[in-house]
């Protein structure tokens, strides 16, 4: 067998493997998002988008509803991050793509229509059994919840909402490797931060802490967004803020007080 024939067989083997991988991915997405009576999702303009078109993309399943107050606060942020991720991928010029599918818990069609009209992504039809099936499959305990699926249809993270809050568009593609990289960058940046600071929004001095020195996951008392890793914490009362949220204190007003 000559070298040219070996090369042809290797290429054929790779093509077959890629074809098998595509079929497996397509099967995963279909089992999750389609049914025997429906093989499409809804787009904003009312067109039906084939579920198969999502194969090869990173997908966010967004569990939310019109009546959910936390969802009303998170959805505008998610829209902004979604658009930034899409633009980032365009700028990079690679084949990666990102899409979100709205999985509704709305009570009626009018609520669904009103909420979905504010979103730039896809949705399962209102009342479709897949809405409840997916919530059960991913063990969704509360909404809003963002579950991330990889291009192969496998679950990447059930904590997409937290990752968006923590890292914004930099969270993409939401993998453990990406989160590890972001945490390492955060640790490096923290080395240049002062060990303590005064914050205009709090009367006590704040101390820089990490998960290893008394910190941990928290809700920032300044911006009300989730935080993790490094924070400025009041050791007297537990007040905690992101390092980026610390505002300089007017020394004149401090002297007067």
Residues 238 and 117 in one domain: no
Instruction: Please say if the pLDDT value at position 12 is more than 90.
Output: no
The whole-number average pLDDT for the span 238-255 is: 77
In Å, how far are 130, 205, 233, 252 from 257, measured between CA atoms? 60, 15, 22, 9
The per-residue pLDDT for 252 is 55
Q: Is residue 177 part of a domain?
A: yes
Asked which of 182, 203, 227 is the last residue of a domain, the reply is 182
Predicted confidence (pLDDT) per residue in 31-46, tens digit: 889 988 899 999 988 8
The per-residue pLDDT for 227 is 80
Asked which of 182, 215, 241 is the last residue of a domain, the reply is 182
Residues 169 and 198 in one domain: no
The whole-number average pLDDT for the span 168-194 is: 92
Range of the domain at 72: 3-182
The per-residue pLDDT for 5 is 53
What are 183's two structure tokens? 């945490």
The per-residue pLDDT for 27 is 75
Residues 178 and 237 in one domain: no
Residues 167 and 216 in one domain: no
Predicted confidence (pLDDT) per residue in 14-34, tens digit: 434 344 444 445 677 778 899
What are 152's two structure tokens? 């192969």
Instruction: Please say if the pLDDT value at position 51 is more than 70.
Output: yes
Confidence of residue 254 (pLDDT cuts 50, 70, 90): very low
The Cα–Cα gap between 62 and 148 comes to 9
Residues 244 and 127 in one domain: no
The CATH number for 25's domain is 3.40.30.10
The CATH number for 246's domain is 3.30.60
Instruction: Please say if the pLDDT value at position 134 is more than 90.
Output: yes
Positive or negative, the Cα torsion across 65, 67, 68, 73? positive
Going by the DSSP 8-state scheme, the letter that residue 165 receives in this structure is: H
Percent of the chain with pLDDT over 70: 87
pLDDT, averaged across the chain: 86
What are 257's two structure tokens? 């007080």
Residues 42 and 138 in one domain: yes
Residues 13 and 80 in one domain: yes
Confidence of residue 4 (pLDDT cuts 50, 70, 90): low
Residues 224 and 144 in one domain: no
| CB of 122 closer than 8 Å to CB of 57 | no
Specify the pTM: 0.77
* Closest C-alpha among 257, 229, 253, 227 to residue 245: 227
Residues 117 and 136 in one domain: yes
Q: Is residue 188 part of a domain?
A: no
Q: Is residue 126 part of a domain?
A: yes
Give phi and psi for 80, each to the nearest 5.
-60, -45
Residues 65 and 170 in one domain: yes
| CB of 48 closer than 8 Å to CB of 34 | no
């Amino acid at each position: 067998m000559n070298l040219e024939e070996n090369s042809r067989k290797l290429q054929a083997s790779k093509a077959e493997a890629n074809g098998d991988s595509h079929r497996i991915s397509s099967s995963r997405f279909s089992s999750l998002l389609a049914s025997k009576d429906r093989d499409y999702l809804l787009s904003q303009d009312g067109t039906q988008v084939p579920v198969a078109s999502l194969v090869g993309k990173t997908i966010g399943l967004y569990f939310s509803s019109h009546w959910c107050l936390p969802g009303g606060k998170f959805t505008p942020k998610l829209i902004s991050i979604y658009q930034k991720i899409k633009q980032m991928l365009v700028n990079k010029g690679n084949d990666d793509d990102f899409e979100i599918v709205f999985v509704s818990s709305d009570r009626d069609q009018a609520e669904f229509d009103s909420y979905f009209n504010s979103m730039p992504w896809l949705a399962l039809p209102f009342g479709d059994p897949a809405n409840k099936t997916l919530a059960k499959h991913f063990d969704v305990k509360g909404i809003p919840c963002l579950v991330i699926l990889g291009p192969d249809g496998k679950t990447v993270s059930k904590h997409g909402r937290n990752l968006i809050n923590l890292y914004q568009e930099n969270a993409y593609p939401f993998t453990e490797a990406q989160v590890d990289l972001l945490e390492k960058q955060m640790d490096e940046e923290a080395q240049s931060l002062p060990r303590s600071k005064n914050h205009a929004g709090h009367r006590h001095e704040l101390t820089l802490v990490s998960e290893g020195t008394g910190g941990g996951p928290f809700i920032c008392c300044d911006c009300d967004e989730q935080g993790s890793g490094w924070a400025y914490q009041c050791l007297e009362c537990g007040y905690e803020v992101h390092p980026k949220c610390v505002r300089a204190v007017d020394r004149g007003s401090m002297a007067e007080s």
